[in-house]
C-alpha cells in the first residue's frame, strides 16, 4: 500500500503546499486506472519526512520513503508508468530519443517551479500582510493543535522572508520603484543584489533611507508625533508591498510565457501546430506530464478564491484568461474520490504528546 501524507483536512488538500496537490493528482492519474490502491492522509505531520517537509510518499511494503515532489515523480513514473504495458510503445527504439528529450524538459520545468514559483507562492501566503493575517495564519488552526498552530506559521513566515530574497522580493531591498522590471543579459529578471548595486547614492535616495531609519529609531515625544510616525511607517510598508506585488506579477508572467513557448515548440515538432490553440498539454494531447500537473497546482493555489488579496488572480484573468480557464477546468475534472482519503491515526497525528515522544526517542518515524 502506498501512503501519501499531505497538508489538509478531511477530504481537502491545502493550498499551503502545491506539491501536495500535484502529488495527489499524479497518483490518481497513474495508479487509479491500473487499480493500484493508495491512500491520501492529511496528517500535516512534517516529522514523518526526512527533510521535514510534505508531501511524503511511504511504501508500506518496502518501508521506503520518497520525500518531496521530485522523488515521488521519479518513483511513480519508474515503477508504475514506464513499466506498464500501455506505455511500452515509449520503449521502442524510434521513441527513445524523443522520450529522453521530453524527460529533460519535464525535469527542467519541475526545477523551475520548485525553485522559482514556490517562492512566489510563499510570498503570496506569508509575506503579503493581508493574506497572512486574514487567511494563512488562521489556516494552521485547522490543521494543528495548540501550541503548534502558532509556532508553525511563524516558522514558515521566517523561512519565506529569507527565501523570497532569491527573487528580489526582500522587504529591505533598496531599489528604485521601476528598477525591478530590468533584466540581465539572459533576459532573466535581475536579483535584488544586482539591482541594488546599480542604484545611485543620490541625495534623494539617501534622504529616503534616512527617513526610514528615523521611523525605526525615533521615539515618539507626543501622541501626535506617534501617530505621524505610525502613518509614515504604514505608507512605506504599503509602497514596499506594492513594489513586491508588481515584481511577483512580472515574474509570473515570464514563467507562464516560458510554458507557452515550450508548448508551441512541442506542437511544431509534432506537426500539430494550431494557431487557435493558445495552451494545452505539452507532451501529450490526452494527459499532462508531472511538470504540468505541478504547474497547474501552483496556479490553482495562487488564484484560490479563499485568499483575501487576489491581485494575482485579477492579473491572470486579464493577461492569461485562457490558461486560467484551462487550469481551473483541469483541477475540477481531476478531483480525487473521497474514499482515497483517511484521517491520520496513532503516531501520524501531529500533537504535543507525539512531538515530545519523537524528541525523546520513544517514537521513530
- Nearest Cα residue to 327 out of 302, 359, 360: 302
- Which tops the pLDDT comparison, 267 or 209? 267
What's the confidence (pLDDT) of residue 108?
94
pLDDT higher than 50, residue 16: yes
Phi, psi (degrees; rounded to nearest 5) at 218: -70, 150
Q: Hey, what long-range contacts does 158-163 have (CB within 8 A, 24 or more apart)?
A: 159/122, 160/119, 160/122, 160/123, 160/125, 160/126, 160/127, 161/126, 161/127, 163/118, 163/119, 163/122
Average pLDDT over residues 204-221: 48
The single residue listed with the C-alpha cell 487509479 is 32
Spatial separation of the C-alpha atoms in residues 93 and 89, rounded to whole Å: 9
Average pLDDT over residues 224-240: 63
pLDDT higher than 80, residue 157: yes
Spatial separation of the C-alpha atoms in residues 153 and 192, rounded to whole Å: 25
pLDDT higher than 50, residue 127: yes
What's the confidence (pLDDT) of residue 237?
64
Query: What is the DSSP track for 307-350?
Result: -S--HHHHHHHHH-HHHHHHHHHHHHHTPPPGGGB----GGGS-
pLDDT higher than 70, residue 190: no
Q: Is the peptide bond before 55 cis (omega within 30 degrees of 0)?
A: yes
Average pLDDT over residues 48-70: 95
Average pLDDT over residues 292-306: 96
Exposure class string for 190-206: b at 16+ Cβ within 10 A, else e: bbbeebbeeeeeeeeee
Average pLDDT of the chain?
82
Query: What is the pTM (predicted TM-score) of this model?
Result: 0.81
Amino acid at each position: 500500500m502506498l501512503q501519501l501524507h499531505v497538508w489538509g483536512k478531511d477530504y481537502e488538500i491545502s493550498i499551503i503546499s502545491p506539491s501536495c496537490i500535484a502529488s495527489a493528482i499524479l497518483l490518481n492519474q497513474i495508479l487509479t486506472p491500473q487499480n493500484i490502491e493508495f491512500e491520501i492522509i492529511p496528517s500535516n505531520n512534517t516529522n514523518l519526512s526526512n527533510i521535514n517537509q510534505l508531501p511524503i510518499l511511504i511504501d508500506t511494503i518496502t518501508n521506503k520513503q520518497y520525500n518531496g515532489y521530485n522523488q515521488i515523480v521519479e518513483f511513480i513514473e519508474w515503477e508504475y508508468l514506464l513499466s506498464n504495458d500501455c506505455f511500452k510503445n515509449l520503449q521502442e527504439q524510434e521513441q527513445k530519443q524523443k522520450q529522453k528529450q521530453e524527460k529533460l524538459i519535464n525535469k527542467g520545468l519541475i526545477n523551475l517551479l520548485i525553485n522559482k514559483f514556490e517562492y512566489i507562492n510563499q510570498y503570496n501566503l506569508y509575506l503579503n500582510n493581508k493574506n497572512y493575517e486574514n487567511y494563512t495564519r488562521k489556516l494552521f488552526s485547522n490543521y494543528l493543535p495548540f501550541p503548534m498552530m502558532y509556532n508553525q506559521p511563524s516558522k514558515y513566515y521566517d523561512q519565506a522572508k529569507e527565501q523570497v530574497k532569491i527573487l528580489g522580493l526582500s522587504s529591505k531591498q533598496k531599489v528604485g520603484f521601476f528598477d525591478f522590471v530590468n533584466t540581465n543579459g539572459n533576459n532573466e529578471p535581475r536579483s535584488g543584489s544586482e539591482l541594488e548595486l546599480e542604484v545611485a547614492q543620490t541625495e534623494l535616495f539617501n534622504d529616503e533611507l534616512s527617513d526610514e531609519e528615523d521611523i525605526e529609531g525615533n521615539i515618539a515625544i507626543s501622541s501626535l508625533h506617534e501617530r505621524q510616525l505610525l502613518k509614515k511607517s504604514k505608507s512605506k510598508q504599503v509602497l514596499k508591498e506594492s513594489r513586491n506585488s508588481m515584481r511577483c506579477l512580472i515574474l509570473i508572467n515570464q514563467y507562464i510565457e516560458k510554458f507557452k513557448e515550450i508548448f508551441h515548440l512541442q506542437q511544431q515538432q509534432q506537426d500539430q501546430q494550431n494557431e487557435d490553440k493558445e495552451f494545452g498539454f505539452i507532451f501529450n494531447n490526452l494527459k499532462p506530464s508531472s511538470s504540468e500537473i505541478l504547474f497547474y497546482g501552483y496556479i490553482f493555489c495562487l488564484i484560490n478564491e479563499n485568499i483575501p488579496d487576489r491581485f494575482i488572480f485579477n492579473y491572470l484573468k486579464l493577461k492569461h484568461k485562457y490558461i486560467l480557464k484551462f487550469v481551473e477546468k483541469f483541477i475540477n475534472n481531476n478531483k480525487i474520490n473521497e474514499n482515497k482519503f483517511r484521517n491520520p491515526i496513532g503516531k501520524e497525528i501531529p500533537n504535543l504528546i507525539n512531538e515530545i515522544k519523537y524528541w525523546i526517542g520513544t517514537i521513530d518515524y
